[in-house]
Amino acid sequence: MTKTAVLLHFAEDQTVASAIAQAAGLGLTAIARHRFPDGELKLRLPSALPQRVVLLRTLDNPNEKLVELLLVARTARMLGATHLTLVAPYLAYMRQDIAFQPGEVVSQKVVGRFLAELFDAVITVDPHLHRVTTLVEAVPAAQATVLSGAPLLADLIATHLPHALLIGPDEESAQWIAQAAARHGFDHAVCHKIRHGDRDVQIALPDIRVQGRCVVLLDDMASSGHTLAGAARLLLSAGAASVDVAVTHALFAHDAMQVINDAGIGRVWSTDCVAHPSNAVSMAPAIADALVSQNT
């Protein structure tokens, strides 16, 4: 990809955007952002854009950011862009993929189609897909690329705990657990989870020996922290020597870190898909490679 293409970003994403742009051979421009007293946004892009434009915006705290995507994408088209790629390391609203009650909004379908109408291509990392198996089913863009943080987290775990036991806190984590375990030959298993509410979960440990072992709970994301905390308490009660956590998306809403610390969890590692003090590995090189591949 040549510098006739440009990566647009917001000020808070400067570090990650610079790393991606340099590795992918992209120009780099920050979007100017002003908030009016009533909360509305005023955004400013370059007055002219190349045909290929990449927008970096991870979608934690997504509601206002979705409005930003609408404003930026439509304006970029008017300023000369003919191919728009969204790089959303964390992709919001993917968990709500079915209506459990009449009239319930299936957010995955609504947001997925919204993004596909704005962008020609979407690149994301470990989207939280459950009842659909491919990203293009959720986001029907012309190009929909999924990267994973599991290999990088597995490498980090192998450095610190070469004989770790990897445990997934629920069945949905099985795909990431298997991927990470295969990379370094880790023993692995997944817990069984029954969710009664956002902060009320029941965990059952898998049938595997944990006595005296260093366990790492690995998942795609951590939000409230209650699932990880519940699994950690059970593991420590069963004799685990230690319990650490590795997640792709460090959402950690509200008091999640306190919940995790109170459960006896030691270290917390994450990718930089969502900015957080636990960030330990960068997805920028993999994202840059995906952008280069997209244009070859």
Q: Which two tokens stand for residue 146?
A: 């999924």
Q: Where does the pLDDT of residue 192 fall: very low under 50, low under 70, confident under 90, or very high at 90 and above?
A: confident
% of the chain exceeding 90 in pLDDT: 83
Residue spans per domain, the chain? 6-148+282-294, 150-272
Q: What is the largest CA-CA distance in the chain?
A: 62
User: Under CATH, which number does the domain 6-148+282-294 receive?
Assistant: 3.40.50.2020
Task: Report the pLDDT value the prediction gives residue 133, as an integer from 0 to 100.
Answer: 86
Q: 170 Cβ partners below 8 Å, 6+ apart? A: 190, 191, 192, 193, 203, 219, 227
Q: How far is CA 90 from CA 43, 56, 97, 121, 248, in A?
A: 22, 11, 17, 15, 9
Active site residues: 193
**245 CB-contact burial (10 Å; exposed 0-12 / middle 13-18 / buried 19+):** buried
Confidence of residue 2 (pLDDT cuts 50, 70, 90): very low
* pLDDT the model gives residue 270: 98
Which residue type is seen at 30?
A
Section 85-92 average pLDDT? 98
The fold for domain 150-272 equals: Rossmann fold (3.40.50)
Measure the CA dihedral 78/287/135/92, to 10°.
-70
Fold: same for 6-148+282-294 and 150-272: yes
**What rounded mean pLDDT belongs to the chain?**
93
First to last CA, the chain: 8
Residues with Cβ within 8 Å of residue 53, at least 6 apart in sequence? 5, 6, 7, 8, 76, 81, 83, 84, 85
Phi, psi (5° rounding) for residue 127?
Answer: -65, 145
Model pLDDT for residues 51-61, shown as the tens digit of each residue:
999 999 999 99
Question: 3-state class of 102 per DSSP?
Answer: coil
Output the pLDDT for position 242.
97
Average pLDDT for residues 215-238, to the nearest whole number? 94
Per-residue pLDDT for 127 more than 60? yes
CA pair distance 207, 188, nearest whole angstrom: 11
pTM over 0.75: yes
